[in-house]
Amino acid sequence: MSTYDAFAPIYDVWFPGTEDVPFYVELAREAEGRVVELAVGTARVAAAVARETGKRVIGIDSSPAMLERAREQGADLDLRLADMRDLALDEPAGLVYCPARSLLHLPTWADRRRTFERVAGALRPGGRFAWNAFAFDHAIAARLDGAHQDDPVGHTLRYSVGESRIDITLDSGAAISLWWATKNEWLGLFDVAGLEVEALYGGFDGQPFDDASREFVFVARKPR
C-alpha cells in the first residue's frame, strides 16, 4: 500500500478551487507532442486538461488508490502506476507538468534532481516543464505548527524547520510529509537538468513573483 492511499478518498476536498486548472489547460493547448502529468492523484487537473484540449493525458502516480479514483473521471487518460523519479516515455513529450505542490513530496535534493533530469530527458526540444509549490513563510509556520484544524478535514500540521519538512497527520492517524525548497534551490535544479526558466510567477494569473508571493509557479523549457 502506498503512503498516499489513505488520502485518496478525501484528496479532492483539499483542493476545492480550480484556479490552477486554466493555467495547465492553456499550457497543454500550446504543447506539441504528448502531455504528461506527474503525481496525477485523482486526476482533478488531468481530466480537465483532457476534456478541454481534446488531448490524451498520461498520468503517473505511485498510489494505486489514487489511480483508481482517477479512472472514475471518465476522461481520456493513460494512467500509469510509477514513481515520478523513474519517468520514462517511449515518445518525447511536449509538456510535463506537476500541479498541487506535488514535487514537495520528494524528500531530498537528490530525488528532485533525478526527477528534473528524467523530465528533461522525456521532453522534446522546446518542450515545457511546469509546476507549482508554496514558498515557505515562517509566520505561517509559527501560527499553524501543532494546531488542530477541522478544515477541510480534521488534521494537524507539524513543522520541522531544520528538515524543511511539514508533516500532515489526519485524525485517523494517516500521515504524509512535504519538503519545501527555496527559490535558489529550485533554480539550481533547472541548471543541473539543462532546462531554461521561461517564467516564474507568484500565482496562476501570471502576477510577478516578489517578496509578498507565497506560491512558486514555474515554467521551464528544454532548449531547442
195 and 154 in a single domain? The answer is no
146 and 200 in a single domain? The answer is no
Tens digits of residue pLDDT in 42-63? 999 999 999 999 999 999 999 9
89 and 199 in a single domain? The answer is yes
Handedness of CA 32, 221, 205, 51 (dihedral sign): positive
Cell of 153: 478535514
82 and 103 in a single domain? The answer is yes
84 and 172 in a single domain? The answer is no
In whole angstroms, how far apart are CA 149 and each of 7, 39, 66, 158, 223? 16, 25, 24, 12, 45
Contact 66, 54 (CB under 8 A): no
The domain in which residue 85 lies consists of 5-135+182-221
Tens digits of residue pLDDT in 170-214? 999 999 999 999 999 999 999 999 999 999 999 999 999 999 999
61 and 84 in a single domain? The answer is yes
48 and 144 in a single domain? The answer is no
Q: What is the CATH number of the domain that holds 189?
A: 3.40.50.150
80 and 154 in a single domain? The answer is no
Handedness of CA 32, 18, 81, 110 (dihedral sign): positive
43 and 76 in a single domain? The answer is yes
Total domains present in the chain: 2
115 and 171 in a single domain? The answer is no
191 and 105 in a single domain? The answer is yes
Averaged pLDDT score across all residues of the chain: 96
3 pLDDT exceeds 90?
no
114 and 152 in a single domain? The answer is no
* Residue 1 pLDDT level (bands cut at 50, 70, 90): low
